[in-house]
Amino acid sequence: MSELHTVNKSPFEKSSFNSCMEHVLEGSAVLLYEDGVYAAIKGTAAEGKVKSAQGVKFYALGPDLSARGVAVERVTDGVEIVDYAGFVDLAAEHDKVVAWV
């Protein structure tokens, strides 16, 4: 069973990203969107968690990165940037969507 976890709050504001990281299983994916994209920035406390998650794919929503002035170069290596159509594809490709709201 592969799951798509969605996180929409900053890891520096709420605990949803950390909770997600404690529950996500190998073979699953995490989509960071809205303020959740702050977890995708290089050099933050979240970077280590993103890099050390074994077998977990990370995605960030491009329009939400742009809206916050986060350039592609500042996004942690290995995090793939998707648009809304990509978000829909991820939801369809995984067996279920777990929203950490």
**Inter-axis angle of helices 16-23 and 45-52, to 10 degrees?**
20
> CB of 41: closest distance to another protein in angstroms?
18
User: Does residue 96 belong to the site contacting another protein (CB under 8 A)?
Assistant: yes
User: Does residue 89 belong to the site contacting another protein (CB under 8 A)?
Assistant: yes
Instruction: State the Cα angle at 10 between 87 and 48, rounded to 5°.
Output: 90
Rounded CA separation 94/97 (Å): 7
Decide if 91 contacts 3 (C-beta within 8 A): no
Binding mask 48-67 for another protein (x = CB under 8 A): ---------------xx---
> CB of 52: closest distance to another protein in angstroms?
27
> CB of 72: closest distance to another protein in angstroms?
20
Q: Which position among 34, 47, 57, 80 is part of the footprint of another protein (CB under 8 A)?
A: 34
User: Does residue 68 belong to the site contacting another protein (CB under 8 A)?
Assistant: no
Rounded CA separation 71/93 (Å): 27
